[in-house]
Amino acid sequence: MRILLTGATGYIGKRLLPVLVQNGHHVICCVRDINRFSPPESVLPFIDIIQVDFLDKASLSNIPNDIDAAYYLIHSMSSSNEYVKLEEESAKNFRDAIDSTALKQVIYLSGIVNEDSLSKHLKSRKNVENILSDGSFSLSTLRAGIIIGSGSASFEIIRDLVEKLPIMIAPKWLNTKCQPIGIRDVLTFLEKSLLNEKVYDQNYDIGGPDVLTYKEMLLEFAKFRKLSRRIYTVPVMTPRLSSYWLYFVTSTSYNLAKSLVASMKIEVVCRDTKINDILNVEPEDYRTALKRAFTKIDSNQIVSSWKDSQVSGVKQFNISDFIDVPSFGCFKDVKEREIVAKKEVVDKIWNIGGSNGWYYANILWKLRGFIDKLFGGVGLRRGRSNPTTLESGDALDFWRVLYANKSEGRLLLFAEMKLPGEAWLEFKIKNNKVIQTATFRPHGIPGRLYWYAVLPFHGIVFNGMINELTKVGEGKT
């Protein structure tokens, strides 16, 4: 079967793709920026990649007519305060474009929306479901609450809270009930619903067997990690304060934190579990889902992370627009060092950031990340998804990977921190030298003042960083 996969670069889409290929389907992957998409080589013979932006009607002509089914995995919650309007427009454009194809079924992964009073985020999910249901195709909607899996936003937020805070003074919404589900089971439900007439024109809630409060989820996580934690809830924390609390403690963006806080006041518990019998699925419990997540983390097998999604950053851009580093009107800091062992240097460059740090003056990097958080930026807490591999589109602390070619020895990063301008950091191996270039394109006078203000720190940080990289090349420790 030919399956259209929207959101192919997202957390769910990147995990669903190999499942579909393994089951013998040919997958048409919809991506907004082809340069951000690096699928495994093993799936390349079984996929087509098309550049489609569902907010740009002209690009929808790239969708082929001979498709049998589609997965709708598009969300805009953390990308803009206007996400409700964006999600509505995307859904309408998708529906209208798909109506002219031979498609039989659309599968939409939504949120549990069973209460009369819904948050802005959950209302938008329900609105998208209503829009898609007006299409000429059969719609199957799977509604999930908290998804537990390595790299999921929910899992990473829980992990940040538990592993960083021995004592939590938390908002009262931690007493709200939810029904978490493991990512493995979500993928199973999605796969088994495909072209299954039993679920046509129906909506179902999917969840694991445990109904827990958020507080119970945190404490069970702590127990699993063998950590002693105390949580005290207070009734006086406003939604704004709650959002800031979540934003500063975890790696989430402020827009996402704000949306999550609003939704966490609402119970997300399944109405029933009849979908389990229809599809013959027995979801795993919360603790088993945690165990699976950490198995992936410990073996460095995180397939996808919400942090690598474009919406996890502050700037929204296409990689192709920034992969050619400009020179006109830019400030540059270029450092070069001779090297002896290219492989050792490249390996260290590819290990940069995250828990490995930036090799020199890490306290200054952390200070810059903290300042970035204060001004609404992403800070350093995103880290990296994998400690040894980098691909185009990956998040790397407060940078975004634009280009990563290990055999060529070139890594290009673009800054997603709050800046009065645009910044690139490039590492390149050429003629037995490592060339490290920091480029800054200022926006007006504030940008120029910023460059000169940080110039003394650049002298310390960038000199130290390239010296450490060179030491590896010289065989020093």
At 366-424, the pLDDT tens digits run 888 888 887 777 777 777 877 778 888 888 888 988 888 888 899 999 998 889 998 99
Q: Are 208 and 182 in contact (CB under 8 A)?
A: yes
Decide if pLDDT at 305 tops 60: no
Q: Are residues 223 and 263 in the same domain?
A: yes
> Whole-angstrom Cα distance, residue 470 to residue 340?
8
Are both 192 and 209 inside the same structural domain? Answer: yes
By C-alpha distance, which of 261, 250, 61 is closest to 160? 250
Domain of residue 298 covers 2-306
Q: Which residue has the tokens 């807490």?
A: 381
pLDDT score at 182: 94
Using the structure block, give the residue that is written with the tokens 């851009």. Answer: 317
- One domain, residues 294 and 433: no
194 and 83 both lie in a single domain = yes
Q: Is the pLDDT confidence value at 353 over 70?
A: yes
Residues 289 and 355 in one domain: no
Alpha carbons within 13 A on the beta-carbon side of 268:
29
Predicted confidence (pLDDT) at residue 312 exceeds the cutoff of 50: no
Q: What is the pLDDT of residues 332-348, one digit of tens each?
A: 999 999 988 888 999 99
Domain final position from 249, 271, 306: 306
Q: What is the pLDDT of residue 259?
A: 67
- 398 vs 380: CA distance, rounded Å: 5
Q: Give me the pLDDT at residue 136, please.
A: 93
Is there a single domain that holds both residue 207 and residue 136? yes
Tell me how far apart the alpha carbons of residues 462 and 251 are, in angstroms, rounded to a whole number: 25
Residue 313's pLDDT is: 46
What is the spatial distance between Cα 75 and Cα 208, in angstroms, rounded to a whole number?
23
Whether the pLDDT of residue 445 is over 70: the answer is yes
Give CA–CA dist 124/90, Å, rounded.
Answer: 12
Among 226-240, 243-257, 360-374, the range of highest mean pLDDT? 360-374
Asked if 114 and 262 sit in the same domain, the reply is: yes
Pair 438, 298 in one domain: no
Closest CA to 306 of 260, 374, 352: 260
How far is the C-alpha of 415 from the C-alpha of 380, rounded, in Å? 11
pLDDT at site 373: 80
Specify the pLDDT at position 317. Answer: 47
How far apart (Å, rounded) are the C-alpha atoms in residues 76 and 74? 7
Instruction: Indicate which CATH number applies to the domain containing 378.
Output: 3.30.530.20
Residues 321 and 208 in one domain: no
pLDDT at res. 247 = 72
Q: Please give the structure tokens belonging to residue 187.
A: 């993928």
Does 477 score more than 50 pLDDT?
A: no
**Same domain, yes or no: 290 and 330:** no
CA–CA separation, 476 vs 469, rounded Å?
10
Highest mean pLDDT among 118-127, 187-196, 453-462: 187-196
Confidence of residue 266 (pLDDT cuts 50, 70, 90): confident
Which of 287, 306, 325 terminates a domain? The answer is: 306
- State the pLDDT at residue 311: 47
* Number of structural domains in the chain: 2
Mean pLDDT of all residues in 270-295 = 93
C-alpha separations of 272 from 114, 200, 209 in Å: 11, 18, 11
Lowest mean pLDDT among 98-102, 117-121, 428-432: 117-121
Query: pLDDT value at position 304?
Result: 59
Last residue of a domain, one of 278, 306, 334: 306
Looking at the fold, whether 116 and 135 belong to one and the same domain comes out as yes
Reported confidence tier of residue 425, pLDDT bands at 50, 70, 90: very high
Are 363 and 247 in the same domain?
no
- Return the closest-CA partner of residue 20 out of 32, 4, 41: 4
Query: Which CATH number goes with the domain that contains 63?
Result: 3.40.50.720
What average pLDDT score do residues 425-451 get?
92
Q: DSSP assignment of 412-452, as one string?
A: EEEE-S--SEEEEEEEEEETTEEEEEEEEEE-HHHHHHHHH
pLDDT at 9 over 90: no
Average pLDDT rounded to a whole number, residues 89-96: 94
State the Cα–Cα distance between residues 47 and 20, nearest whole angstrom: 10
Strands (DSSP E) found in 268-420: 331-338, 395-396, 399-405, 410-415
Q: What is the pLDDT of residue 20?
A: 95
Strand partners, 231: 168
